[in-house]
Amino acid sequence: MFRAKFSIASYYFLLFAAVAFTHPFFPVFLRERGFSYVQVGAVLSAFSLAGAVTSILIGWRSDQRRQRRRYIVGSMLIGAGGYLLFPFVHSFAPALLLGAVIGGCVMSSQAVMMALVVDLFRHQGTAGSFGQLRVFGTIGYLLVLLTLVLWQNSPLLAPDKMFTSVALLLALSALAALLAPENPEQAEESARLSPQEVVHLLHRREIALYVVAHFCFVGALMTATANLSLYLQWMEASKPFISLAYMTSALFEMPFMILMGKLSDRVGRTYVLAVAFIALPIRLLLLTLFRAPVPVLLTQTMHGLTFSIITAVSMAFIADRVEPRLRASGQGLLMATTSLASATMPFVAGAVADVWGLPALYGSLFALSLVGSAVFFTLARHTAPAEARLRITLPEAKTGGQV
C-alpha cells in the first residue's frame, strides 16, 4: 500500500500548500481590490455553493463509473486554470464566477479523494488511516505559512505570484493523484445507481440529523477561520502575524488529526465528535470577546479539538453508514453539506459585519455553533449506544468495516 499512501499524502501536501496562500490572504486580496465585506462573503459563498452542487454530482458519477482518479485529476486541473485568471480580476462579477468554478472543482476533488481513501483503507481503520494521510496536508500548509512568517514582505504575496504558485501546486497535486491505485469494488452494482439514491441517504435519520449538525458546525468554524485574517487586520496585526495565527492552528491540527482519528476507530465516532461539538462554541465565544491579536492567536490552539476532529471523524461517521456502492455519494453529500454551509454563512456573516462590525460576526457564529451542538447531542443519544453494542458484538468493526 506504499504507492497509495505516497500518492494520497502527496495530493494533500500539495493541495493544502496551495490553500496556505489563499486561506489567509484571499479575503485580504479581495478587500484590497475594493470589495465590501458582504461582497467578500458572496465570493466565498459562490466558491462553496458550487462545491456543494458538484460534490454530489461528481461523487455520484464517480460511484456510477467506479472511477476516482479521472475526476480528481480533471477537477484539480480546471481549478488550477481558474486561479491563473484571478490576478486579472478587478470587479465583483468576474470574481464571483471564477470563485464558483474553482470551488466546484476543488471541493468535488476532495469528496472523491475521501471516497478513494475509504475504498483502499476500509479494513485498516478508516478514520485513523485518513488522519494519517490528511496530516500531510497540514504539513504542506504549515511549511508555506512558516516561509511567509520568516520571509518578511515576501514577493510571493503579490497577486500575480501568489495565484501562479497556487495554480502550480494544484496541478502538481493532480499529478500526484494519478499514482494512486483504484479498487473498483462491486462495479457490477454501480450501473443501477440513480440520483434518487443520493436523496435516499437523507431519509436515514442518523444521516439526516448529522448533516444538520455538521452544517451548523462547519458553517460556524469555516466562516470564523475565513474571516480571521480580516479580524486580525482590523486589530492592526501585520501580515506575518496573520500567517503566524494560521500556522499556530496548523501546529495543533497535526497531532490531533492522527490521534482523534485512531481514537474514533477504537471508542466510536460519536464520543470523539462530542468533544468537537463542545469545544467549538467555547472557541467562538472567546473570539467574540477578545479585541487584541495575541488572545485571538491563543484561540487557534483549539483547532485540534475542532477542525481536526470534524475533518478526520465525520467522513468515517458517514462511511460507516452507507453501503460500498454509495461510498462516494455519501462523501459527496458530506462535502456538499460542508460546501453549502460555507456558501451561506460567509454571505450572512459579511452582511452582519458590514452593519455591526466583526465582533458581531463572531457572535452570530457562536449562536450557530450552539444550534449544531444541540442537534448533535440529540443524535448522540442513539448513535453512542449503537456503536457500543457493535463493538461488543462485532469487534472487527473498529477496523473500519461497514456498520
Quick check: pTM over 0.75?
A: no
Residue located via cell numbers 483549539:
302
Q: Please report which confidence band the pLDDT of residue 193 belongs to, taking 50, 70 and 90 as the band edges.
A: very low
pLDDT of amino acid 143: 87
| Spatial CA neighbour of 256 closest among 381, 84, 135 | 135
- pLDDT digit string (tens) for 352-361? 888 888 888 8
pLDDT of amino acid 19: 87
Output the average pLDDT for the chain.
Answer: 82
Distances, alpha carbon 74 to alpha carbons 7, 58, 78, 156, 183, in Å: 16, 11, 6, 26, 19
DSSP string, 346-366: HHHHHHHHHHH-HHHHHHHHH
- Top-confidence residue, 271 or 240: 271
Q: Which residues of 158-185 are buried (b: 16+ CB within 10 A; e: fewer)?
A: eeeebbbbbbbbbbbbbebbeebeeeee
pLDDT of amino acid 185: 52
- What is the rounded CA–CA span in Å between residue 331 and residue 59? 7
Q: Per-residue pLDDT for 393 more than 70?
A: no
pLDDT of amino acid 139: 87
Q: Please report which confidence band the pLDDT of residue 397 belongs to, taking 50, 70 and 90 as the band edges.
A: very low
Nearest-10 Cα torsion for 388, 381, 340, 216 = -120
Residue located via cell numbers 485512531:
262
- What is the rounded CA–CA span in Å between residue 53 and residue 34? 29
pLDDT of amino acid 198: 60
Domain 2-182+195-396 matching CATH 1.20.1250.20: the answer reads yes
DSSP string, 6-18: HHHHHHHHHHHHH
Least confident stretch, 31-35, 324-328, 366-370, 378-382: 324-328
- pLDDT digit string (tens) for 24-53? 778 878 888 888 888 888 888 888 788 878
3-state helix, strand, coil in the chain (%, to 5): 85, 0, 15
Which amino acid makes up residue 333? L
Would you tell me how many other CB atoms lie within 10 Å of the CB of residue 302? 20
Mean pLDDT of 157-170: 87
- What is the rounded CA–CA span in Å between residue 213 and residue 235? 32
- What is the rounded CA–CA span in Å between residue 308 and residue 259? 9
pLDDT of amino acid 256: 85
Handedness of CA 120, 141, 54, 378 (dihedral sign): positive
- pLDDT digit string (tens) for 329-340? 777 778 778 777
Q: Which three cell numbers stand for residue 156?
A: 510571493
Half-sphere exposure of 274 (CA within 13 A, CB side): 14
- Cα 328 from chain centre: 16
Mean pLDDT of 160-167: 88
Which amino acid makes up residue 57? L
Q: Per-residue pLDDT for 370 more than 90?
A: yes
pLDDT of amino acid 192: 40
**Residue 142 in contact with residue 254, Cβ under 8 Å?**
yes
- pLDDT digit string (tens) for 106-141? 888 888 888 788 777 766 666 667 777 888 888 888
- pLDDT digit string (tens) for 56-114? 788 777 877 777 888 999 999 999 999 999 888 888 999 999 999 998 898 888 888 88
Would you tell me how many other CB atoms lie within 10 Å of the CB of residue 258? 21
| Cα end-to-end span (Å), the chain | 24
Q: Per-residue pLDDT for 8 more than 70?
A: yes
Half-sphere exposure of 31 (CA within 13 A, CB side): 16
